[in-house]
């Protein structure tokens, strides 16, 4: 008889333990899935500093761009030393080059030599070709 009683007590302890765990596991799962604290929602992503944009909406080409360097592109044609750049002739500018895609007066615009980048109206590169008159 006392053995039956011991088994019953053991069973009760076991069931109590199991039922307690059964409640704890889901609670722990909810806590683990909640992603941590209930602090303020994540902040909106910071806007990255936009690259210098041309009026055309395209990014401006850098003089350090490998293709720009290979074609001797500069933002200011007036800075070109004609003795070192014999292809350059005074008065040649992107703005009067046949490949310049900007309207009259635009400071920066696309150029078919540098797709997706804007060149400066006062610039120049060794591919310069005069606009037909
Ligand atoms: Fe400027 Fe003409 Fe050279 Fe383009 S091709 S970068 S418009 S000089």
CA distances from 17 to 3, 49, 102 (A): 21, 58, 79
Ligand 1 centroid to residue 82 C-alpha, Å: 17
Ligand 1 centroid to residue 127 C-alpha, Å: 6
More confident residue, 87 or 49: 87
Which atom of ligand 1 is closest in space to residue 111's alpha carbon? Answer: 4
Ligand 1 centroid to residue 128 C-alpha, Å: 5
Closest Cα to atom 3, ligand 1: which residue? 125
Residues 6 or more apart whose Cβ sits within 8 Å of residue 89: 82
Mean pLDDT along residues 22-28: 38
Partnered with residue 108 across adjacent β-strands are 120
Which atom of ligand 1 is closest in space to residue 125's alpha carbon? Answer: 3
**To which H or E segment does residue 32 belong?**
helix 2-33
More confident residue, 25 or 10: 10
In this prediction the pTM is: 0.62
Question: Is the pLDDT reported for residue 12 higher than 50?
Answer: yes
**% the chain with pLDDT above 70:** 58
Ligand 1, CB cutoff 6 Å, lining residues: 73, 94, 97, 99-100, 111, 113, 119, 123-125, 127-128
Mean pLDDT along residues 49-78: 84
Mean pLDDT along residues 107-112: 97
């Amino acid at each position: 008889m006392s053995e039956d009683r011991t088994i019953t007590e053991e069973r009760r302890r076991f069931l109590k333990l199991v039922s307690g765990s059964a409640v704890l596991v889901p609670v722990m799962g909810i806590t683990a899935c909640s992603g941590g604290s209930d602090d303020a929602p994540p902040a909106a992503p910071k806007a990255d500093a936009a690259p210098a944009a041309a009026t055309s909406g395209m990014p401006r080409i850098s003089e350090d761009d490998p293709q720009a360097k290979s074609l001797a592109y500069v933002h200011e044609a007036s800075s070109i030393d004609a003795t070192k750049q014999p292809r350059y002739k005074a008065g040649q500018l992107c703005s009067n080059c046949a490949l310049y895609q900007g309207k009259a007066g635009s400071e920066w615009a696309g150029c078919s030599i540098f797709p997706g980048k804007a060149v400066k109206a006062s610039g120049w590169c060794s591919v310069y070709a005069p606009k037909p008159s």
